[in-house]
Amino acid sequence: MFNRLMAAVVFLIFFLAIDLYFYQAVVGLTSDYGKGKWIRIAFWIPTILSIAAMLWWIFDDPYRYSANLRNWVITGLLATYFSKSLGVVVLLIGDIVRLFHWISEYFTAGDSRSSNGDQLITRSQFFSVAAVAGASIPLGGFVFGIISGAHDYRIRRVKVPVKGLPVGLQGLTIGQISDIHSGSFWNKTAVKGGVELLLREKPDLITFTGDLVNNETSEVREYIPIFNKLLAPLGVYSVTGNHDYGDYKPWKTKADKEQNFRDLIAAHRELGFKLLMNENHRIESGSFSLDVIGVENWGAGRFAKYGRLQEAVIGTEDTDFRLLLSHDPSHWDSEVRNHSSLIHLTLSGHTHGFQFGVEAGGFKWSPSQYIYKQWAGLYNDELHHLYVNRGFGYLAYPGRVGIPPELTVLELVKA
């Protein structure tokens, strides 16, 4: 309880410090406006709501209600105080400028001091306007990312050049969907449209590379009738991601957590997905053999390492092509490329492209790149290929800015 009280005090000080400082700009812009009093009163309403949400978060269990409610609270707090913080930076710059100007004037002869009397706008007013504008831009971006970016599904068609590719595999298409995070969805109609978008591509097989839910299997129940429409001639294959194990939720008992994971496995069956748990499945034709290999989540650093690649590749020695499904792209550098069995193509997700970034022409940037060496798109060396899907859903922030949700169609071609 003491730790929670200390956390509440720290956040309270943080919120009030930002609001009191930003309030300068509001006062500066409304002091000469007849109804400015009501604007100044209204300014404190989001603060009161934010403090109430913060106290609820600290002293209650946000998972007790719903994952979606938790996500919206996070988004509201982040959008409000990130935006205000940028405004505070502008005000701070303005105060520093005014301080240096005051010092300069103090040491200047009185009759040569400049006057602001006939200026159209004072320095104080300029920085107040700039602060409000600076806060409005990111706030508008947050809102736009929710309304427009969250479900702006894009098909990405990618050719994967493979050395020595058998003739029978040339032109084979693999659909990939990743990071559904069904507990975050708020527009079922749009989700259905995204699934239909992939189906119109008619891939030869479809893969799902993990994170079906945020924390609990119950999140996916109402979306099973949507995602079970994913069908392909050569089948639909899936693996688990780090969120599928319920590791980020406090469970009443260990048995509850274990039952949740059993329910998740059952959900994959209901969806018609062949879930590969450190195992493989062979697809054979008269002209080729292809092994789909699936490992449980394996992530470098702090992420869980449930995957057992050595076990998963057993029996794949004589195949023409090995396709690995592994949720976390850090697995590729850490284990896959150095493995004794040649994994021709690895499909991953996990990063979401941070749900924020810029992609224009050949330029690609996201904060995700400072965490993951491979974070979005196709990567390869002479023999190995990795594709990192930007994700279908979203986590925490229910939107995307600059990194739209992705459905991938990969085509195997001879190098």
Residue 267 to residue 218: CA distance in whole angstroms: 9
Phi/psi at 14 (nearest 5 deg)?
Answer: -60, -50
Q: What is the pTM of this model?
A: 0.86
On whether the CB atoms of residues 324 and 311 are closer than 8 A, the answer is: no
Which residues, other chains included, contact 310 with Cβ-Cβ below 8 Å and sequence gap of 6+? 339
What CA–CA distances, in Å, run from 119 to 102, 126, 258, 337? Answer: 17, 11, 70, 66
- Count helices and strands in the chain by DSSP H and E runs: 9, 14
Least Cα distance to 400 among 354, 339, 349 occurs for 354
Tokens representing 169 are: 């595999």
Residues 375/368, Cβ–Cβ less than 8 Å: yes
d(CA 264, CA 296): 13
pLDDT of 112: 47
All domains of the chain, ordered by start, with CATH? 2-148 (no CATH), 154-414 (3.60.21.10)
Per-residue confidence (pLDDT) for residue 44, from 0 to 100: 93
pLDDT tens for the 415 residues of the chain, in order:
788 899 889 989 999 999 999 998 888 888 777 778 899 999 999 899 999 988 888 888 766 777 677 778 888 888 899 999 999 999 999 889 888 888 888 887 554 445 555 555 576 778 888 888 889 998 899 999 999 999 999 999 999 999 999 999 999 999 999 999 999 999 999 999 999 999 999 999 999 999 999 999 999 999 999 999 999 999 999 999 999 999 998 899 999 999 999 999 999 999 999 999 999 999 998 889 999 999 999 999 989 999 999 999 999 999 999 999 999 999 999 999 999 889 999 999 999 999 999 999 889 999 999 999 999 999 999 899 999 999 999 998 999 999 999 999 999 999 9
Handedness of CA 326, 330, 332, 337 (dihedral sign): negative
pLDDT of residue 123: 65
Q: How far, in Å, CA of 93 to CA of 193, rounded?
A: 47
